């Protein structure tokens, strides 16, 4: 189910152009985005994801914008609680996809962290090729 | 916070350089419980998950998970109205969020069974149990009903902890 959902998001993202209103290519993004590590007590740079920004009103699903150590956008991340994905009455419609072109998508389980305290799925829309995921790897 | 509680927050890899686990059980030294997790955050843990110590021993939790924050929080109504799962005469503790390489210590003078959890990861089963001395009354009972299933299943049994002294994560 999670994977069908992720595939739908990927298709949706490919079809929907980036929101022109906000500059998101370089950190910090403009608009309502805030650095996640300033909203909750999390490391500023998360190995495997990077430096995250989110519009607090979009929590918990996101989108979270993820940047490498040079401030370049690498992915857009959604965090979808497992309970919600298993709830037939819960939907995630019209999630913003401001990052533009998607190269590939990763979906995996996350046990939780400050800000999204329950087990959830990370849906990562990579805007860079697979080989460039190392830009957000642990040092 | 109560004055009787020893609360230490240490930051920096230099501090951690000397904290190689497991450590010899010198009575004056704290016993260490590591907070860890897989790189993608799919699995998180306390290690050891079960521990037997004598009264007055200091426990130190250390976050060695580079990609997450963790807490060491006693099951007590003062902590987010969680059920009481430490001795009634014992002081509850809550480390608050520990970033990578931060640590928190508490000394446990009262005999009994102490169950604790990580605030953002209780639903993922990140809990642990410390037995101080040789208590008569086990924890659990009606309070157990209020815990997530994964948390309940993660506690080592009192018998197992008493027999082995330390239960590493599996």
Model pTM? 0.80
Task: Quote the pLDDT of residue A22.
Answer: 78
What mean pLDDT is predicted for residues B2-19?
40
- How many other C-beta atoms are found inside a 10 Å radius of the C-beta of residue A111? 25
Q: Is residue B19 part of a domain?
A: no
State the DSSP string of B118-139.
-GGGGGGT-EEEEEES--SS-S
Comparing alpha-carbon positions, the chain B residue that sits nearest to A111 is: B42
Task: Quote the pLDDT of residue B4.
Answer: 39
Q: Is residue B140 part of a domain?
A: yes
Residue in A108, A114, A122 closest to B120 by CB: A114
Closest-CA residue to A52 (of A30, A77, A31, A81) = A77
Contact flag A110-B66 (C-beta cutoff 8 Å): no
Q: Is residue B98 part of a domain?
A: yes
Write down how long chain A is. Answer: 139
End-to-end CA distance of chain B: 33
Residue B83 above 70 pLDDT?
Answer: yes
Q: Is residue B96 part of a domain?
A: yes
Regarding an ipTM greater than 0.90, the answer is: no
Which residues of chain A, if any, have pLDDT below 70?
1-21
State the DSSP string of B24-76.
---TTSPEEEEEEE-TTSS-EEEESSEEEE-TTEEEEEEE--TT--B--EE-S
Contact flag A111-B119 (C-beta cutoff 8 Å): no
Residue B9 above 50 pLDDT?
Answer: no
> B129 phi and psi, to 5 degrees?
-140, 130
Tell me the three state secondary structure of residue A133. Answer: helix
Token pair belonging to A129: 């090729």
Q: What is the CATH number of the domain that holds B78?
A: 2.60.40.420
- How many other C-beta atoms are found inside a 10 Å radius of the C-beta of residue B109? 13
Task: Quote the pLDDT of residue B169.
Answer: 82
Task: Quote the pLDDT of residue A71.
Answer: 96
Q: Which domain covers residue B49, as residue numbers?
A: 27-167
Mind telling me how many Å the CA of A72 is from chain B's nearest CA? 20
Residue in B41, B66, B68 closest to A138 by CB: B66
Q: How confident is the model at residue B14 (pLDDT cuts 50, 70, 90)?
A: very low
E strand map for A33-136: 34-35, 51-54, 64-67, 73-81, 104-110, 120-126
Q: Is residue B56 part of a domain?
A: yes
Q: How confident is the model at residue B139 (pLDDT cuts 50, 70, 90)?
A: low
Q: Is residue B109 part of a domain?
A: yes
Residue in A43, A109, A118 closest to B67 by CB: A43
Contact flag B44-A111 (C-beta cutoff 8 Å): yes
Task: Quote the pLDDT of residue A17.
Answer: 40
What mean pLDDT is predicted for residues B66-70?
94
Q: Is residue B134 part of a domain?
A: yes
Contact flag B119-A119 (C-beta cutoff 8 Å): no
Using a CB–CB cutoff of 8 Å, tell me whether B40 touches chain A: yes
Mind telling me how many Å the CA of A77 is from chain B's nearest CA? 13
Residue in A48, A109, A119 closest to B39 by CB: A48
Q: How confident is the model at residue B6 (pLDDT cuts 50, 70, 90)?
A: very low
Please name the residues in contact with B167: beta carbons below 8 A apart, sequence gap of 6 or more. B48, B49, B50, B51, B156, B160, B161
Domain tally, chain B: 1
- Tell me which residues of chain B, numbers 47 to 66, contact chain A at a CB-CB cutoff of 8 Å: 66
| Cβ contacts of A49 on chain B, cutoff 8 Å | 67
Residue B86 above 50 pLDDT?
Answer: yes
Q: Is residue B153 part of a domain?
A: yes
Give the C-alpha separation, B157 to B50, whole Å: 8
């Amino acid at each position: 189910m999670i994977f069908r959902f992720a595939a739908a998001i990927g298709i949706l993202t490919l079809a929907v152009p980036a929101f022109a209103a906000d500059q998101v290519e370089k950190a910090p993004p403009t608009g309502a985005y805030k650095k996640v590590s300033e909203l909750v007590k999390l490391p500023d740079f998360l190995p495997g994801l990077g430096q995250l920004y989110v519009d607090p009103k979009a929590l918990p699903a996101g989108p979270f914008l993820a940047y490498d150590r040079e401030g370049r956008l690498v992915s857009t991340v959604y965090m979808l609680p497992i309970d919600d994905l298993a709830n037939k009455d819960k939907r995630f419609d019209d999630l913003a996809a401001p990052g533009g072109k998607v190269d590939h998508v990763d979906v995996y389980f996350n046990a939780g962290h400050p800000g999204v305290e329950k087990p959830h799925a990370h849906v990562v829309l990579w805007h860079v090729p697979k080989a460039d995921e190392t830009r957000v790897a642990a040092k | 916070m109560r004055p009787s509680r020893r609360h230490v927050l240490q930051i920096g890899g230099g501090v951690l350089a000397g904290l190689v686990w497991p450590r010899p059980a010198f009575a004056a030294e704290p016993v260490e419980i590591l907070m860890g997790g897989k790189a993608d955050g799919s699995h998180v843990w306390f290690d050891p998950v079960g521990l037997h110590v004598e009264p007055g021993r200091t426990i130190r939790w250390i976050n060695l998970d580079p990609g997450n924050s963790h807490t060491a929080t006693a099951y007590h109504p003062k902590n987010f109205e969680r059920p009481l799962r430490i001795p009634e005469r014992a002081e509850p503790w809550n480390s608050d969020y520990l970033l990578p390489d931060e640590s928190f210590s508490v000394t446990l003078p009262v005999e009994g069974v102490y169950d604790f959890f990580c605030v953002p990861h209780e639903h993922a089963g990140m809990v642990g149990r410390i037995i101080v001395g040789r208590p008569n009354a086990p924890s659990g009972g009606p309070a157990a009903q209020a815990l997530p299933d994964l948390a309940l299943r993660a506690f080592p049994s009192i018998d197992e902890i008493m027999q082995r002294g330390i239960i590493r994560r599996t």
